[in-house]
Amino acid sequence: MIRVSLIVMICISIIGTTYSCNNGDFKQTRAEMLERQRVRKIEYQAQKQAEEAEKARLEAEALAEAKIKAEKAAQEAAPVSPPVYVGDSLLLHFERSTCFRRCPAYKIKVYESGFTTYEGVNFVDNIGYYQTQLSPSEIAEIYTFIAEADFFELEDRYDNENIMDLPSMTFRAKAMGKDKQILARYEIPEALLKMASDIDELFEGVDWMPAKSQ
């Protein structure tokens, strides 16, 4: 009886040891599996970040290359200097100044040949230097603007130095053997306001080409 009990105890001990070992192996295997999963996740995230960084780099390079090509094309399209016409002279200079607010500021010069330059300074669609060629009918319109305003009979200055932050307009016309410049900033006569409006309207539909600084 004692021998049988001893044998049973030995068997139970062996079985328990085997189970304990197998259970330990299972826990170790599961821990290793979780660790491998964690490492794979980290590697996957690192790979995705590397792919996104490479994609961003390629896009930045493409944008930079496109910008360089666009700038080169604009430089090639822009003339080195404005066309020179024998006997060409200024017909009209019109300028709107800046102010402390959002005042459109630009300068326009029209020559008798129709060659016209534009400089966009602030709060306008075209910033920088541009040029165009007006048709004979458009040049005739400018002569009409000058005549309708009775330009050469107006005063040289409409201003009040005591009033600050008013945008100004500068007109200069050379026509009919006369040359006159007017600064208009305060209490501007209707004739000049209409002339300025007519000039703006004339150039609204003009196709400006990029140009070198004048």
**Which residue, among 87, 84, 88, 68, has the nearest Cα to 76 in the 3D structure?**
68
Whether residues 21 and 98 fall in one domain: no
Going from the C-alpha of 182 to that of each of 107, 108, 122, 137, the distances in angstroms are 14, 15, 22, 25
- Closest among 165, 173, 127, 125 to 148, alpha carbons compared: 173
Q: Which whole-number Å values give the CA distances from 64 to 59, 72, 75, 213, in the listed order?
A: 9, 12, 16, 25
Range(s) of the domain holding residue 162: 90-210
Residue 31 and residue 134 in one domain: no
Does residue 3 belong to any structural domain of this protein?
A: yes
Give the model confidence (pLDDT) of 15-58 as tens digits. 555 544 455 555 668 888 888 888 888 888 888 888 888 888 88
Q: Are residues 95 and 199 in the same domain?
A: yes
First to last CA, the chain: 121
Per-residue pLDDT at 23: 54
Q: Are 73 and 100 in the same domain?
A: no
Whether residue 169 lies inside any domain: the answer is yes
- Show the tokens assigned to 10: 């030995």
pLDDT of residue 81: 45
Is 43 found in the same domain as 98?
no
Final residue belonging to a domain, choices 17, 48, 77 = 77
pTM listed for this prediction: 0.60
Residue ending a domain, choose from 28, 45, 77: 77
Q: Is residue 70 part of a domain?
A: yes
SS3 156: coil
Is 193 found in the same domain as 105? yes
134, 110 contact by CB (below 8 A): yes
Number of domains in the chain: 2
Q: Are residues 44 and 22 in the same domain?
A: yes
Q: What is the pLDDT of residue 167?
A: 94
Q: Per-block average pLDDT, block size 10, for the chain (214 residues)?
A: 52 51 62 85 88 84 68 52 61 95 95 96 94 96 96 97 92 95 97 97 93 74
Last residue of a domain, one of 23, 53, 77: 77
